Structure 1
Amino acid sequence: MITRLRGIAFQLAKALAQALAIIIIVFLLVRVVPGDVVDMFALQGDLNAAQQAAMRAELGLDRPVTAEFVDWLEKALTGDLGESLRFKRPVAEMVATALPTTLAFAALSFAIGLVLAFGTALAAVMTGNRFFAFLVNLLNIWSIALPTFCVGVVAILVFSIWLGWLPVFGAMLLPAIVIGIDNAGQIAKPLFEELREAASSAHVRTARAKGLHPLRIALTYLLPTAIPVALALSGLVLAGLVAGTLTMEVLFGLQGIGSLTLQAIHGRDYPVVQGAIAVIALGVVAINAVTDILHRLIDPRLDR
């Protein structure tokens, strides 16, 4: 028990360290990019050098980077992510407005991926049909060989422009299917191997000999043995899902965290970039930490 608690505490400490490291790196990188929000305003209006210097001083852009970071971090720990330099709105409010779209999109994509992965893997193991085994391999190759962004562009051309079934922008179902298929490909193959090994065990052969229904065998004997593997894979997929959803948001015009971050980068709106990336980073490390802790609770062998 003590070993398990130490392992959980270590994972939490590692997650916090990772989040802090990501936030520091992003804070520094956004300032490496040439130009700032004052330069953007100068391009739109007639600001001379003195006016630009005065605006930078007013916005606090002339301070040392370390002082900016310490000030921002102190406020962020209280939930204050600052104010947008371009729109004069609280960053926390802007992130809160965009977050539901990203969460809904990610949840739908993940659900599609899980259903497709578990369905094809179970069907391949329980029926022994070569078609389902081929489908598992096809999903795996799909996720490795085809970038989701490219697939998304092709999907827009086919289903939105040529067939006219869905609007080009604002439709969540089409990008969710694209990301879901990619997620399924990452889960289906390892899950299939685990289920196939479990299906050859003695207690499963006994259950089949007793004439139990295949669905009951799958739910009672196969799925419980695959939960640790599925949980570990789901953690990796969820962490990678963040990047995929952000890309698809931009491509399909969904007003989520991805679109908000891209617009802030274009406008050199440092507080919005930092706030959005901080939320994304905390989400990713939280997913990794929770899945690892659950994995340890389900599989005690990891504490040895």
Structure 2
Amino acid sequence: MNSRLLRLSGSIVLDLLRALGIALGIVVFTFFVIRMIPGDVVDVRGIEGSLTYSQQSAMRAELGLDKPWLTQFADWSLMILSGDLGQSARFARPIWELLSAVLPSTMLLGATALGIGIVLGVSIPVLAMLYPRSLWRGVVEVITIWSITVPTFSIGIMSLIVFAVWLDWIPAIGNFFVPALILGIDTAGSLAKALYEDMRENESAEFVRAARAKGLSRTRIILRHILPNALTVSIALIGLMLAGVFTGAITMEVVFGLPGLGTLTLQAIQGRDYAVVQAVIIWLGFAVIFANFVTDILRKLVNPRLRTT
């Protein structure tokens, strides 16, 4: 028992170190890549005519934008380590206030889409296994092809044209259910195929043959034996899909005019508000890293064979 706990603890520590390394890479990469974009918030304000040339120089010095990039990075890192995300030059508000105002909307949309995706992505393969001669197997293939070939952004725009403009079934701005459903189906397609194939592979396993020999029904074998063994891969996929769900949620917020990180990020990019864009990207990166870290732990709790990797 102690050796098992030791292996699990060591594996978790290694996962944590990997997560911290990836997080550091995201921070450094985000900071310098954003500054490669031509112009900054002072240039945008100057083009808008709200600042004179002398005011632009004073503002650039005040924001530290006239310093070398490495100096800016050192100053910004010290500020972040102190727990301060900084001030938005575009919106003249603390960044944590901006994020706290829009995060609930984005998280609700992403969580709803993920919930729809998990329900569809698990139930459809199970139905395809329970009824192998029905249409459910075809449904698995259809949503898989949908997920691979159809961009959610395009489907969002098409849904607006068809359901909001042509049919007038939904409002053109502020609809929540349609983007959640689009993202949910896309998530389900990524999950359903992998789970279905894994369940079919487990169908010929020795423990399934033993269950059949005991006279257990096909339904019980699938739900009690095959499905739990196939969920290990699915748990890992759900962690990976979180990135797609939340970045997709940001895109859908822009398309459907929903208040959230997407709208805030678009406005910050247009205004070259580096600090806000950095905060959004880093928050998303950390959220995905944390989700993958948790799912890795869950996988190792479910499957002890993974604890040595």
Q: TM-score range by the shorter chain?
A: over 0.9
> How far apart, CA to CA, are the structure 2 residues paired with 1:93 and 1:233?
33
Match of 1:45 in 2: 49
TM-score in terms of structure 2 length: 0.92
> How far apart, CA to CA, are the structure 2 residues paired with 1:29 and 1:294?
34
Whether the 8 Å contact between 2:42 and 2:60 is mirrored in structure 1 is: yes
- Is residue 10 of structure 1 aligned with residue 14 of structure 2? yes
Match of 2:212 in 1: 205
Residues 10-39 of structure 1 deviation map (CA, whole Å, 9 limit, x = unaligned): 111111111111121111122111111111
> How far apart, CA to CA, are the structure 2 residues paired with 1:245 and 1:83?
25
Alignment partner of 2:293 out of 286, 289, 300:
289
3-state DSSP of counterpart to 2:135 = helix
Match of 2:112 in 1: 108
Alignment partner of 2:156 out of 152, 158, 163:
152
> How far apart, CA to CA, are the structure 1 residues paired with 2:301 and 2:218?
30
Of all paired residues, the percent bearing the same amino acid is 44
TM-score in terms of structure 1 length: 0.93
- Is residue 196 of structure 1 aligned with residue 203 of structure 2? no
Match of 1:80 in 2: 84
- Is residue 136 of structure 1 aligned with residue 135 of structure 2? no
> How far apart, CA to CA, are the structure 1 residues paired with 2:238 and 2:50?
53
> How far apart, CA to CA, are the structure 1 residues paired with 2:122 and 2:50?
60
Whether the 8 Å contact between 1:239 and 1:288 is mirrored in structure 2 is: no
> How far apart, CA to CA, are the structure 2 residues paired with 1:290 and 1:106?
17
With 278-287 and 222-231 compared, the bigger mean Cα shift is at 222-231
Q: How many pairs were matched up?
A: 301
With 88-97 and 38-47 compared, the bigger mean Cα shift is at 38-47
With 117-126 and 39-48 compared, the bigger mean Cα shift is at 39-48
Aligned counterparts, 1:151-300, within 5 A: 151-200=155-204, 201-206=208-213, 209-210=215-216, 212=217, 214=219, 216-300=220-304
User: What stretches of structure 1 of length at least 5 have no aligned partner?
Assistant: none
> How far apart, CA to CA, are the structure 1 residues paired with 2:50 and 2:197?
65
Match for 1:72: what amino acid? Answer: W
> How far apart, CA to CA, are the structure 2 residues paired with 1:248 and 1:73?
31
Residues 94-129 of structure 1 deviation map (CA, whole Å, 9 limit, x = unaligned): 011111011100110011111111111011101113
Match of 1:54 in 2: 58
Q: CA RMSD in A?
A: 1.8
Residues 193-240 of structure 1 deviation map (CA, whole Å, 9 limit, x = unaligned): 222233442144246x34x483x4443223321221220111111122
Whether the 8 Å contact between 1:195 and 1:226 is mirrored in structure 2 is: yes
Whether the 8 Å contact between 1:106 and 1:245 is mirrored in structure 2 is: yes
Match of 2:71 in 1: 67
Match for 1:232: what amino acid? Answer: A
Whether the 8 Å contact between 1:36 and 1:269 is mirrored in structure 2 is: yes
Change in 2 beyond 3 A, CA 1:47/1:229: closer
> How far apart, CA to CA, are the structure 2 residues paired with 1:203 and 1:103?
44
Match for 2:49: what amino acid? Answer: G
